[in-house]
Structure 1
Amino acid sequence: MYHLVFPLKYRKRVITEDVGKTLITICAEIPERYEIEFIEIGHESNHVHFLIQSVPKLSISKLVRILKSLTAREMFRLHPEIKLLLWGGNFWTSGFYANRVGLYAGKEVIQQYVQNQRKDKEEYKKIHSGQLKLF
């Protein structure tokens, strides 16, 4: 299980409620093709938190590449107005935060941390919650 944080390019504040719903739709299709399960997805306007479960054979770099490429491509396709705000053709920054759940904290501690992330009094919005699965 991993906690991932993906900031948007230039830290632009483009994730609205509508864009968040689109993100859920996109992420709902990913487990059909890859061994990735979303335990929790939440966002603020300029970054997204994922709490995900995957198989050990899928490296963290490949996992991040899959998530970033699929979500960015579909976001630009379904919300072309975002491309005007994020010049250069990138949705996400090149960097990311990743940590294994259990290395420093358990699932509940990570979920609490994610939910308590508030910058400039902006409300964290939990937009998806799922269950652990056995692969």
Structure 2
Amino acid sequence: MSEYIHKSHNVTVLLYHLVFPAKYRRAVFDNRVDEVLKEVCLEIAERYQVKFLEIGTDKDHVHFLVQSVPTYSVSRLVQMLKSLTAREIFRRCPQVKKQLWGGEFWSDGYFASTVGKHGDEAMIGRYVKNQGNEYHKLHSDHSSRCFKIPRSKL
């Protein structure tokens, strides 16, 4: 479950439902790519102020339910997630680059929606699960862990 994030001068709970289609809507998500995507997202969560509440794939697109802080705009969050995940998937799964003719991993477009803390979070989770034909939940973290604040900021 999401939590209020307490910073020195503000308290926020910003939840986003993001959908990223693969380039050409190619069915590139298999078990290996799913595992790499999950690992990379959890590494991103360790380094940046982003918490992945849920990650799920269908054959040609990914759904994220993420919580972040106001210093990351939606476009910056999308850019960060797309660039870091694409780079690592291409590095760790070179066969995917061949499937996409050596081009980009993600299509240029994306879907982004804000999610309310009370009531809508579970609804979005159900919606994501019911999308597509073969949705696979890769990760779910509804724990009460907040973001880590680096010691240099304390």
TM-score by length of structure 1 reads 0.91
The whole-number CA distance in structure 1 between the counterparts of 2:28 and 2:53 is 23
1:91 is paired with a residue of what secondary structure?
coil
The whole-number CA distance in structure 2 between the counterparts of 1:113 and 1:133 is 24
- Picking from 133, 136, 141, the partner of 1:125 is 136
- How far residue 87 of structure 1 moved from its aligned partner, in angstroms, is 2.2
- How far residue 89 of structure 1 moved from its aligned partner, in angstroms, is 2.2
- Picking from 79, 82, 94, the partner of 2:93 is 79
- Picking from 32, 37, 44, the partner of 1:23 is 37
Q: Which has the larger radius of gyration?
A: 2
- How far residue 134 of structure 1 moved from its aligned partner, in angstroms, is 3.7
The whole-number CA distance in structure 2 between the counterparts of 1:70 and 1:61 is 14
- How far residue 80 of structure 1 moved from its aligned partner, in angstroms, is 0.6
- How far residue 88 of structure 1 moved from its aligned partner, in angstroms, is 4.8
Distance 1:2 1:133, change over 3 A: farther
Structure 2 residue identity aligned to 1:61: S
The whole-number CA distance in structure 2 between the counterparts of 1:69 and 1:2 is 18
What are the within-5 Å matches in structure 2 for residues 49-128 of structure 1?
49-102=63-116, 106-118=120-132, 122-128=133-139
- Picking from 39, 55, 70, the partner of 2:53 is 39
The whole-number CA distance in structure 2 between the counterparts of 1:133 and 1:102 is 19
1:7 and 2:18 aligned: no
4+ residue stretches of structure 1 with deviation over 6 A? none
- How far residue 33 of structure 1 moved from its aligned partner, in angstroms, is 1.6
Identity of matched residues, %? 52
Structure 1 residue identity aligned to 2:71: K
- How far residue 111 of structure 1 moved from its aligned partner, in angstroms, is 0.4
Structure 1 residue identity aligned to 2:135: Y
CA contact (8 A) 2:17 2:113 kept: yes
- Gap runs ≥5 in structure 1: none
- How far residue 133 of structure 1 moved from its aligned partner, in angstroms, is 4.2
**Deviation sequence 1:9-68 (CA, Å, 0-9, x none):** 000001001210111111110012210000000001100000000001210000000000
